[in-house]
Chains A and B, each alone.
Chain A
Amino acid sequence: MDPILYVHDLTGGYSPKRPVLHRISFHVKAGEMVGLIGLNGAGKSTTIKHILGLMKPQSGEVKVGGVELEEDTEKYRSSFAYVPETPVLFDELTVEEHLRLTGMAYNVTDNADGERGEALLEQFQMTPKRRAFASHLSKGMKQKVMIMNALLAEPPLYIIDEPFLGLDPLGIRSLLDRLVEVKRKGAAILMSSHILSTVEAYCDRFIVMHHGKIVAQGTLDEVRRAAGMEQRGGTLEEAFYRLVAGGNA
C-alpha cells in the first residue's frame, strides 16, 4: 500500500546556501501514528513547513496522497489537515464560524446541519464558548479550536505540531482519544511533540531528528537499537537522550 505521506531525500531550508534539512526520508502509512521528535531547532517545524508546501524543497520530493504539490494542488491540499504549534485563528470569526469555514473549505458535505461540529464542540468542552470570538479565547481554547477544525475535515492525513501546549488535561485526553479513533478508521498522523511519554504511549513509530538529519526512525525497539540500547528495555526518553546528547558528548 502506498504511504499517505512520502518524504524522500528532502533537503531544504530558507536559503540554498544553508540548508536546514539534510536529505531526510520517511513515510507515514494509513492507520499509523508517527511521532516526530527532536530538540528545539532540530528541524521539525521546517520539515512540517515543507510538507505543507509553505517552503520549496531544494532537492528531494514530498508526496501527499500520492501526488506532489505541483502535480495536483487541490488533491494535495485536501489530503491533510494541519494543527500549527501556535494557534492561528481568524480574530473576526467565532468558534462555530471557524468550524463552518473549515467545513466549506474542505467540502465537508455531511456538516451541512453542523452535526459533526456539534459533536466536536461537545467533546472538547467548547459548547459554552461557541459564540466567542477567537480573540477572546485563552491559548488552550484556541488550540482546541485548531484541533477541532482539523478533526472536522476528516482528511487522510493529520499534521500536528506540538498539540499539547496550553491544553488542559481533559483537552489532552479528548485529543488523544480522537486521534486513536481516526487512526483506527484509517487516517495517518504525523505528530511532533516534546512530551515523550505521551508520544511513546500513542505512536506506532518514531522519527528522531537532530541538527536537520534523521538520526533514528522506526518502532521503539528500532530506535532503542539505534541508540545503542540493545534489547533490554528502556523508554523512548532514554533512547532519545542517548541519541541527541550522547552523540554530541
Chain B
Amino acid sequence: MADYDYLRDVARQVRRDIIRMVHGAKSGHPGGSLGCADFLTALYFEVLEHDPATFSIDGKGQDIFILSNGHISPVFYSVLARSGYFDIAELGTFRKINSRLQGHPSTHENLPGVRVASGSLGQGLSVGIGAAQAKQLNEDDKLVYVLTGDGELEEGQIWEAAMYAAAHHVDNLIVTVDYNKKQIDGPLDEVMPLGDLRGKWESFDWIVLEMDGHNMEDVVGTLRKAKGLSGNGKPVIILMHTEMGFGVDFMMGTHEWHGVPPNDEEKEVALAQLQESLGDY
C-alpha cells in the first residue's frame, strides 16, 4: 500500500525545485514540468523497480524510463536527484555552464539516470521501444516506461513507432502521454488537433488507459494496472489528463508558461503556494 501523503509531499517539493531551478537559470520549461510532477513522483518513488545506486546505461534487471519530451528536464532532474541518482545540490547548476544538468537531458555529461539524449521531439518513444526489445532478447522481465508530450504526437515518427511496437509485440512497454492539450503556440486544438486520440491508439492495436495525472491514487493505480496488462502481446499507452502549470495558480489554465521562467516576485508567489516538505536544495 502506497503512502500517498508521502508521495504528495515529494511531488510538492519537486514542484518547488522546478520553480527554483527555472528561476535560477532564468530559462527553462516550468509549465509541462509542473504538470508531470505527480506522475514522475509516483513512477520513481512507488512503481519503478530500480536501484539508483547501481545505475548503468544498460539497465539490465531494472525498469528503465525514457523521457521523450526532454524540455521538461526540470521535473526529471528533480525526481532523479530526490530519488538518489545524484546530490540534490546539483539541481542548482541547471542550465548553467559546465553543468551535467543540460537544458535538455543528455548522456554526454554522464548524469546518472539519463540513458539517451532528448529534446528534439518524437524520438524517445522509438528509443524506448528499442530498449524494450533488448529486454525481450535478454529475457529480462523488467519494463520500459516512456513519457511523451501531447503536442509531440504531431511528429510523424510517433506513428511510425506506434505501428512498429504493435507489429513486433513490444508488450513490456508502458507509454504515458502528458495530455494537457497545450503547446507553445497555443491550445493544441488550435495548433494541430489530435482528434480522437484514444481511438487513434486503439486502431494502432495498443491497449489504451486513461488517468487523472493529478490524483496520486489514480496515477499509482493506473500504472499498476498497466503493469498487470504487460506481457500480453500488446504495448500499453496511458492518456494522462493533466494541467500545464499545475500547483501554481497563475501558471495554470494557459500555455503562456510553457517555456518562460518566473521573475523574482513571481517565484516568491509560486513558492508560497508550495510548502517545503523534504527541504530545498
Q: A and B: real partners?
A: no
- The residues of B with any CB-CB pair to A shorter than 8 Å are none
